Structure 1
């Protein structure tokens, strides 16, 4: 009897916990406070977004963005107007300042209509992100109730290394929307960097380096394999503003500066043992160059860097030059301030101890490494601090010394922005610890990583860290397994599907219908592409005289070829890389059943049900002359499969195809 009673109590507790979890709207990040009412509000397919008349100027853009997103996500047509709300409207208003909610907090009240207000437009905007998530997760109707929601930390960021790997402007704009959908509010763009010399024959002149922004002052400085014009970078910042995101542009000096010394070798440090990626801190020519470069982007009445912050790098310079490094850092902190901008920098001054004064008043620092600058030291010295701890928050794809994927379970269960590595944690509540930022570094230049591979690593981290930095109550209510399931079911952002999720098995042409291609024919499908993990099957019969390098499938990010180099082999191309299945040659003038499977680690080719080749695990080895050792590079041979178009009008397949089917798999491989 006692065992039965214990079992009943256990079941009652579990059901109560489940009820409590379900009674709170499931959104990421979780709501700080929620009071539920009975019933649901069903919003119509066509409706109104009503702005409080006195707030029309401030909230017009917020309302327009919400209307666009409702159409994009749900096909709902909402018009924006001003006045008083009626039943089933969405009402936006500005309220008096509320110390508890702050500038980013908001109140969301759902009764006979949706009422959403805050003391500032950004708060109202974050409330619209919550509303969109609730609509997505509650298709049967919105739970009635009232939320008071606000962030625990003011700075919630992500940094992307575009110096070592180029990311398209379309990708950056998509990331603004993704960050925004999860209430992250800073996006740091690392605009210059270089590869490691050992992977380029230990020759600095051959080593990859790039500066990604158009420059009129220094023609030829901008990377040829991918860059941003000044106009599009300004437009990018304008879009980010609309979505509540602050863009932090970073020009990293005086180390990581090989792009500048390639442009002008006289800028390189005289001491060759420092490496050609070190600027010479003693040469007036270096200061003249950097003064001009920074001024090109932050000077004038209409600067290219439109936001409040400019990041100057200042990490990992040779420790033999402590005093001159400190002088250089102080010089550029003052220089950035002279243009009315707030300087940011990587923390190095714990490692670079010296007597030369550095005025860090009002500076924002990324405390990124316990040895170079830890949280406690940064806070004691008076910085505004962003925790960017490398041990927990660095993603470096395809290496063995940082995370390839962040440990999201540990982050969700254990981490807080007060923690750094070595078990170190500062006291909560310090007003100068502003938040945290996770980062992606593309150290291994040329390793085959794609933009979507990077996104596959970032997105789970972004969801967890948004939860932890906003500070919703789900952290104490929802176990990680339930949170992970919620994350998996959530969209990336309105109109964004970089993961290329496909809902179910999809036939791209009617069963047994035979398509005939002459080499210039194309067939458009209902899907753009399919992401990891997946299988794509088709039956193919090439012409007796097949086209060389024939485009078989084409999508927004990649192409699949047949008869590569006239050999009958399958291949695929993406982002300047080419990958070939060398173990199999497709016979001409006969039907063959092909299946290609892809996941986050590689790509497999099956022929008539048999695995012919798996592209995964290729490793390169080089000699590191500085450290007298061998270093390795792990290559990524992955493919988000292109489906938008079969064939090509200029370099298309010649032959027949049938039974083209794509099949999403159940669980991604990491």
Structure 2
């Protein structure tokens, strides 16, 4: 990391000269900066100071900053209660300030760094800026004064964990990522199901999952990945410490196949609606959903910790608009009784009826112009967050919506109020328009996509979106290419490297020296894993009687296997998937030179300089009975290569390895 920092110094100086401003380069950009003469070099051992009368309010922010300074730079700082000192970081609360609002801050860099804000959250955002400044100015901080605040109060990201499970470690990393870029909301879509056409057009075979532990409905929780109540509660508390509000979503009455699998009587009697539709006329449906929400909202220590809960309400069959409106009203009122602000998907333009739905004080997720656009939501008195599908939806490996967002258009042309590319830009923000969210949906269940493949798609979008929602229009000062170059050298977050960036070619075993593995021992390396695009080279000599399914390399997210099922083939496993190179069998008892290359589209195996097989392009085609057409599933046979250890204590490789090198391409 320090090598990358030093390499980026000249580029960052060039960027500041190019934009004609002596302004610290951070994401999102500062609203205001007044430069002063000189630089401040903070010591590698130092203090983060808070005053005695503000210790309770700011100690948590100070402690996180100390942790992050250690994580990013190896610095040893401590939290100290006292007065401002030269060469220290001083955090303090100021008076209410209309310019700064609830999240703004001022940073003064002179003989020390002072971060002052009306709220502890504003102070915390200032610490995020300081960390980026330190990363991007390793020769010393430019002296000056920053005044910084967001243009939009709600800046978020939604993740579909219903169709694809994401580990709690991943969600915690994502909180840190969002926080590092001053994004303050994470909506967790806890239940959903696959598309029936990919499961023999049979709803009973179709994948569905609900990810939370349920004690009131034993057996409801998904078996292939879930969160306990305790860890989900702790996760929300942790997120709040990082300035991120977690918004849990239970999606009803459509997208509810997990619930109708559990109790088929809950499904709509009209079979043309699909088994993923709850029956809006059955009392037992309301009894079930009431009890489910109550399980997470009731008690002195509820599972849903934050101020908001999302009740779903999208894409129900339009023939039942009147009853759908009744159902929506019921759960808006139900969640409100627990002191929570309900959120819901905007659907009422499509689901027209005479039953009134009071949206005042509620937060509508405006996801599609036809179902309910931003202006219609505002006219109904709702508060609005924009998740426009055509611009902000990521659906990995499909031929509709975005696999990767249009970053350049978003940076140069998008405003958070816009739902379509031809919408006019707003000159005055409506007080009930809160902001926007990116969303990632994992529609194609079983397509091989990995957590890190999803991150590869979402992370650049988050960097662009945070810029537009915090700073606003800035392309006239920092052109898109320069902004993306800054994105490329800015870390994901302290201690987070889901992209598995490795900044230079690294030799991981002593050149020419053989590493002997017995099948039950481990040799660790200095690199955990390497991300796209990359090459990993090594030579190996399996034992004359090699272990079957032997783990050759293992990392934090995957493992690479030799002698798969005793066939001599290589394979790799991650995210519950297993991929096999069928075209080559490794001979036992002799040395072979292997090279693996990987990118976001697939993985290649080379042996002794010759390409043996490329895993890419596999497609499954099915017939969609409902629409009388063929649909496709595009597989992703990708691997961020694991390097943290050679071998395994239980299922390890038996033989010799030498000349292990990882190479970023």
Q: TM-score, normalised by structure 2?
A: 0.97
| Equivalent runs, 1:61-80 vs 2, <5 Å | 61-80=60-79
1:360 match: secondary structure: coil
Give CA-to-partner distance per residue, 1:53-96, whole Å, 9 cap, x none. Answer: 22111001011111111111111111111221111111111000
Q: Distance in 1 between matches of 2:345 and 2:582?
A: 45
Match of 1:548 in 2: 548
Q: Which runs of 5+ in 1 are unaligned?
A: 1-13, 666-670
Q: Distance in 2 between matches of 1:654 and 1:49?
A: 50
Match of 1:157 in 2: 156
Change (3 A) 1:565 1:42: same
Q: Distance in 2 between matches of 1:16 and 1:424?
A: 32
Match of 2:119 in 1: 120
1:495 match: secondary structure: coil
Give CA-to-partner distance per residue, 1:567-611, whole Å, 9 cap, x none. Answer: 111100111100001111111222111000001110000111111
Q: Distance in 2 between matches of 1:31 and 1:162?
A: 33
1:60 match: secondary structure: helix
Offset of 1:17 from its aligned partner? Answer: 7.7
Q: Distance in 1 between matches of 2:16 and 2:393?
A: 35
Indicate whether 1:451 and 2:479 are aligned. no
Q: Distance in 1 between matches of 2:19 and 2:586?
A: 58
Size of the aligned set, in residue pairs, is: 652
Contact residue 32 and residue 473 of structure 1 kept, 8 A: no
147-156 vs 495-504, greater mean Cα deviation = 495-504
Match of 2:652 in 1: 652
Indicate whether 1:501 and 2:471 are aligned. no
Indicate whether 1:101 and 2:96 are aligned. no
Match of 1:88 in 2: 87
Contact residue 175 and residue 186 of structure 2 kept, 8 A: yes
Contact residue 29 and residue 472 of structure 1 kept, 8 A: no
1:359 match: secondary structure: coil
Contact residue 310 and residue 336 of structure 1 kept, 8 A: yes
2:372 match: secondary structure: coil
Q: Distance in 2 between matches of 1:316 and 1:426?
A: 28
Give CA-to-partner distance per residue, 1:228-256, whole Å, 9 cap, x none. Answer: 00100110001001000000000000000
Match of 1:599 in 2: 599
Indicate whether 1:287 and 2:286 are aligned. yes
1:123 match: secondary structure: helix
Offset of 1:18 from its aligned partner? Answer: 2.5
| Equivalent runs, 1:399-410 vs 2, <5 Å | 399-410=398-409
535-544 vs 632-641, greater mean Cα deviation = 535-544
| Equivalent runs, 1:477-492 vs 2, <5 Å | 477-492=477-492
| Equivalent runs, 1:622-661 vs 2, <5 Å | 622-661=622-661
| Equivalent runs, 1:316-395 vs 2, <5 Å | 316-395=315-394
Q: Distance in 2 between matches of 1:503 and 1:359?
A: 54
2:544 match: secondary structure: coil
Q: Distance in 2 between matches of 1:228 and 1:632?
A: 31
Indicate whether 1:254 and 2:237 are aligned. no
Change (3 A) 1:61 1:204: same
1:23 match: secondary structure: coil
Indicate whether 1:613 and 2:641 are aligned. no
Offset of 1:475 from its aligned partner? Answer: 3.4
Q: Distance in 1 between matches of 2:289 and 2:113?
A: 52
1:250 match: secondary structure: strand
Q: Distance in 1 between matches of 2:14 and 2:453?
A: 39
How much is the aligned-residue C-alpha RMSD, in angstroms?
1.3
Match of 2:470 in 1: 470
Q: Distance in 2 between matches of 1:26 and 1:321?
A: 53
Match of 1:11 in 2: none
Q: Distance in 2 between matches of 1:90 and 1:551?
A: 47
1:424 match: secondary structure: coil
1:232 match: secondary structure: helix
Q: Distance in 2 between matches of 1:659 and 1:59?
A: 50
Offset of 1:20 from its aligned partner? Answer: 4.7
Q: Distance in 1 between matches of 2:583 and 2:320?
A: 54
Q: Distance in 2 between matches of 1:190 and 1:582?
A: 37
Give CA-to-partner distance per residue, 1:358-408, whole Å, 9 cap, x none. Answer: 111101011110110111111111110101000010000000011001111
Runs of 4+ residues deviating >2 angstroms: 14-22, 424-428, 472-476
Change (3 A) 1:252 1:21: farther
Change (3 A) 1:292 1:323: same
Change (3 A) 1:434 1:285: same
1:465 match: secondary structure: helix
Contact residue 47 and residue 89 of structure 1 kept, 8 A: yes
Contact residue 40 and residue 109 of structure 2 kept, 8 A: yes
Offset of 1:657 from its aligned partner? Answer: 1.3
Q: Distance in 1 between matches of 2:589 and 2:334?
A: 69
Change (3 A) 1:15 1:615: closer
Contact residue 546 and residue 654 of structure 1 kept, 8 A: yes
Contact residue 415 and residue 425 of structure 2 kept, 8 A: no
2:371 match: secondary structure: coil
Give CA-to-partner distance per residue, 1:413-446, whole Å, 9 cap, x none. Answer: 1111121126224633211111000100000000
Match of 1:512 in 2: 512
Contact residue 246 and residue 307 of structure 1 kept, 8 A: yes
1:371 match: secondary structure: helix
Match of 1:7 in 2: none
Change (3 A) 1:473 1:85: farther
Offset of 1:15 from its aligned partner? Answer: 9.4
Q: Distance in 1 between matches of 2:534 and 2:18?
A: 35
Q: Distance in 2 between matches of 1:509 and 1:19?
A: 42
Q: Distance in 2 between matches of 1:22 and 1:620?
A: 53
Offset of 1:22 from its aligned partner? Answer: 5.1
Q: Distance in 1 between matches of 2:402 and 2:179?
A: 24
Match of 1:55 in 2: 54
Indicate whether 1:217 and 2:216 are aligned. yes
Q: Which runs of 5+ in 2 are unaligned?
A: 1-12
77-86 vs 312-321, greater mean Cα deviation = 77-86
